[in-house]
A and B are shown apart, each in its own frame.
Chain A
């Protein structure tokens, strides 16, 4: 069964530094998509970045990049030059093909950026 694991319940990072949030996944389907969402304290879920299983290059969106290691089944989010506004909960999610098309979310990592 498909599964998403985020092993870091909480992390701290100093402002302007880079931080990596870990995400590992488990699937037997060769076709899948990986997503990261940000949930600030206000509660909304904000889409950050997407990586497809067949993508040859790591995805990047501004200060966000995804370190995709297919053989290790990991899809870590890297936030460069952290800002105070990056303090939030971050969720990794996966969507398989094969007909179900459900999105599975990890339990999240709470990031606190320190001034």
Chain B
């Protein structure tokens, strides 16, 4: 158990809908990262937050948004869902997000299926 929690574990929804994925980082970690992993694909970095502020942005679609709250949990909002958004969404956390030696620890992921 990495200490990173994600809810829900599974989510089935329809095209055009909106969903929210939730992540709680490890105790003491200030930085949260979101990744998307499509079937048999590598991890695509979406976005990083540090202590409530956006730090880095990757290949995140405009239909997607995220935020990190004062208690450091984070939410990833996916709207106008398309079939291609079906994927495993990971949240990861690290201590400060500033060191090259800093290890990310991943949550169990949320498996999203868009029908």
Do A and B truly interact?
yes
Question: Contacts of A37 on B, CB cut-off 8 Å?
Answer: 106
For chain A, the bracket of interface size reads: 20 to 34
Alpha-carbon separation in the docked complex, A103 to B55 (Å): 13
Residues of A close to B2: CB separation below 8 A = 44, 46-47
Which residues from A are CB-within-8-Å of B101?
Answer: 33, 50, 52
Given contacts A31-B100, A33-B102, A43-B108, contact A100 B42 (CB under 8 A): no
Cβ-defined partner of A53 (8 Å) among B88, B98, B100, B103: B100
Tell me the B77-99 residues at the A interface (CB within 8 Å): 88, 90, 92, 97-99
Interface residue count on the B side (C-beta < 8 Å): 26
Q: Which of A45, A102, A107 contacts B106 (CB 8 A)?
A: A45
Contacts of A91 in B (CB 8 A): 42-43
